[in-house]
Amino acid sequence: MSGHLRVVSSDAPIRTHDHIDFHFEDDKVLRFNDPRRFGSVHWCTHAVHEHPLLKRLGIEPLREEFDGTYLFEQSRKRNIAVKNFIMDAHVVVGVGNIYANEALFLAQIRPTTAAGSISRIRFERLADSIKLILQRAIDAGGTTLRDFVGFDGNPGYFAFELDVYGRAGMPCIHCGKRLKGIVLGQRQTVYCPACQRR
Span 82-139, pLDDT tens digits:
999 999 999 999 999 999 999 999 999 999 999 999 999 999 999 999 999 999 888 8
How many residues does this entry show for the chain? 198
The pLDDT of residue 104 is: 98
Query: DSSP string of 55-87?
Result: TT--B-TTSTT-SHHHHHHHHTT--SBHHHHHH
- For the segment 149-176, what is each residue's pLDDT rounded down to a tens digit? 444 555 444 566 789 998 999 999 999 9
**Taking the mean position of all CA atoms in its chain, how far away is CA 174?**
24
Nearest to 62 by CA among 30, 96, 92, 103: 92
| Residues whose CB is less than 8 angstroms from the CB of residue 49 and which lie 6 or more positions away in sequence, other chains included | 55
d(CA 33, CA 3): 5
pTM of the model: 0.80
